[in-house]
Structure 1
Amino acid sequence: MATSIHETVLVGICDGAIDKKKNTSYCTNKIGDRPDLLPIISLQCPICSLCQRGLSHVVQVYCPLATSPYHRTINVFACTNPQCSGKSESWIVLRSQCLDDDIKGRQDNKTKTCRESAMSRTDWCDEADDWGMDEEEQENVAESGERVRNDSVSEETDVSSKLQGLSIDGGLDQQSALQPPHAHVFQSFYISVMEETDLDGFHDTDHENELLREYEEREGVMVGEIRSCGSGEAHEEYEKATVKHGDEVFTGFMKKISLCPEQVLRYSWAGSPLFITEQPFNVSEMVPFCGHCGSPRVFEFQLMPALVSLLCSAGTNSDTPLEFGTVLVYTCRNSCWKSGSTVPVEEFIFVQPDPDQKLFK
């Protein structure tokens, strides 16, 4: 499905391993490790509906909506059992929310709220030293202010200014209950975020063109080069050809991510997903309405193939059998939340296998 020119797409990129000595919080965007729960949330380890094994934490995304007063975190879990690989039923996505008052009511001398001051995309990508502050620095961080309320009809998220990676005590006793001993704990990495439109010039186009040439040789298709123009915009010139594996959707997917093939996440609340294989003909009917308020669900973000190579067990060099093409996450359009709730809301997740997983190894 093509992305509308009016949609804002945020791209998540791996931004380095997380030091084990650094604590993370519910407002840290990260790969792996254990989830960091909002202060009022309680959660036992999610279980695979296919094999009944405990699920491993894959990613955590802090994504408050500009029109909402809630802190909002989404956690994605998956089963690493090879027999469950690539099946949507072996994945779970959970949405958690709470208000500033809920956090302040549970603060103590070891707990700090997330800083809400706006941060430019340049700070995200080029000045990433704020990741994992030490304790002395944390004490200088101001408490969260009230979220901006936007009366506009636009429901665009405020991710680029609100995603932060400051430390917080997540509660180790509670955390240990989230990951049973037999479940994989993936090595943890920070996720840095920038707008897709800002990718031009962010990467070395010579390097990207080399990757594209290698892809052309493998697949027997002419993709063309990424060419920088005087206006600062990059234009892609494509020539139609028959792909060896006959999957034009996959070829289009590769073209779309060619400016940043290492992206691990694409975020576009109420936007259009980027399918890696032919989308189901009844995709609109496939996504169920919210089971709590009955509202339609909208696309929010997807996990990308480059994430697969980062999902290795912490403390080992061995890969896990978790493989996928792309993982699509749909959430309640109203982001409904019952006051006083302590249990995350399960949303809808759809997994598409990769037609050529070896390209990302």
Structure 2
Amino acid sequence: MAETGVALGFLEEAENWQLQSHQFPSKVGGKPAWLSQLDIPGLPELECGKCHLPTAFLMQVYAPITGQDRSFHRTLFVFCCKTPDCYSRNDSRCLKVFRSQLPRRNDFYPYNPPSDEDPNWTERDPGVHSSGVKLCKLCGCPGQKVCSKCHAVSYCSKEHQTIDWKHCHKKECCKQVPSSAVPSPFLFPELELVTEPEEHQKEESSQTVGDAQNNVECSSLVDDLAETELENMAMHETEDGKVFQKFKRRIASEPHQVLRYFRDGSPLWVSSEHVPVEKGIPHCSCGSRRIFEFQVMPQLLNDLKVDSTDASIDWGTLAVYTCADSCDQGNKYSSEFIWKQDFTEQK
């Protein structure tokens, strides 16, 4: 991951072996490819702060820090609640983010980088992590609740056991049949997250909001907004309108970006409302301040097919802030800070 300038993230199809832990992937959906194999977060750490149900794995970003051995391998994991009612306006309690990092010499991975070619990888038992930790059959997070009938699978919660029972385990339990290869509806589609540098764009400060709307090709996200709302923004040159137009101009050349990585930079906000001040971003447990690292773009909602006019999970952008020192907490997964900003409601 680039540490200078902005790197944009896009989604691509990938082979299963490319998205496993030993390949240090960046990806969205599926089950987490845990970095550290010890002290993996589970419940209650992964509970939604509103409904208290288990959150779902959304994405992970592999972001090592050059020149810092303790962060030679470093991955950030984002989880989100799948209950639409939990997505109150500008409320981040339905989201979680964790940081895991390891030095180059560690107990889990070889010193040399992995091969870019298929290593004839054989999938291990998905219900047991390589460290021996039992994983939830549904979500891939630690789970100690064992099916009382077959004792062959584990779950993190009663809720996930119920979902999996209805989805497939009812047909498999106590029968000599392989586990279903059909992905659970609880999981988001699994895709690789690849990055490339953002091409420099020269800001034209003299350009009016109306000119910007005429000259810039709108992204697929903006196309989904009601035409009357866009006209209203163009007619009323409010501060919020200026911020939104800046957002549109910046993403117009790459409308399919799902992530913007800019460690110690600034997010690209979608609104002038609900922008955090420095004092509003809590310090890391080590005492260091947190800095902006990356943001999740609204295009991801379209790509994951959860963007809907009906009730659905939703955000304008998600900004992730992490420890400025990327402090060493051993094998522990460190909780970091995430800020949810929604689009301004049109009156």
TM-score (norm 2): 0.67
| Aligned twin of 2:101 | 97
Q: Which of 316, 328, 332 is the aligned partner of 1:337?
A: 328
**Partner SS for 1:197:** coil
Correspondence list, 1:108-257, <5 A:
115=113, 133-136=117-120, 172-174=127-129, 175-176=135-136, 177-178=140-141, 181=160, 182=163, 184-197=186-199, 211=218, 218=227, 219-220=230-231, 242=236, 247-257=241-251
| Aligned twin of 1:302 | 295
Distance 1:62 1:241, change over 3 A: same
CA deviations 1:301-338 (Å, max 9, x no partner) are: 0000100112248xxxxx98221110000000000013
- Runs (5+) with no aligned partner, structure 2: 130-134, 142-155, 164-184, 203-214
Q: Which of 328, 347, 358 is the aligned partner of 2:319?
A: 328
Offset of residue 60 of structure 1: 0.5
Instruction: Answer yes or no: is the 8 Å Cα contact 2:105–2:111 preserved in 1.
Output: no
Instruction: Answer yes or no: is the 8 Å Cα contact 1:94–1:346 preserved in 2.
Output: yes
1:259 and 1:309 mapped to 2: Cα distance?
18
- Structure 1 residue 346 and structure 2 residue 346: aligned? no
**Partner SS for 2:93:** helix
1:307 and 1:220 mapped to 2: Cα distance?
25
2:304 and 2:247 mapped to 1: Cα distance?
22
Give the letter aligned to residue 261 of structure 2. Y
- Runs (5+) with no aligned partner, structure 1: 1-5, 118-129, 139-166, 201-207, 223-239, 314-318
Q: Which of 257, 261, 268 is the aligned partner of 1:263?
A: 257
TM-score (norm 1): 0.64
Distance 1:241 1:188, change over 3 A: same
Distance 1:250 1:169, change over 3 A: farther
Instruction: Answer yes or no: is the 8 Å Cα contact 1:34–1:57 preserved in 2.
Output: yes
Distance 1:24 1:212, change over 3 A: closer
Give the letter aligned to residue 44 of structure 1. G
Offset of residue 192 of structure 1: 1.3
Offset of residue 100 of structure 1: 2.6
1:99 and 1:185 mapped to 2: Cα distance?
30
Give the letter aligned to residue 332 of structure 1. C
Give the letter aligned to residue 73 of structure 1. T
- Structure 1 vs Structure 2: percent identity of aligned residues? 28
**Partner SS for 1:248:** helix
Offset of residue 242 of structure 1: 3.3
2:291 and 2:93 mapped to 1: Cα distance?
19
1:212 and 1:310 mapped to 2: Cα distance?
13
| Aligned twin of 1:51 | 51
**Partner SS for 1:263:** coil
Offset of residue 39 of structure 1: 3.9
Aligned length: 271
**Partner SS for 1:220:** helix
2:344 and 2:318 mapped to 1: Cα distance?
14
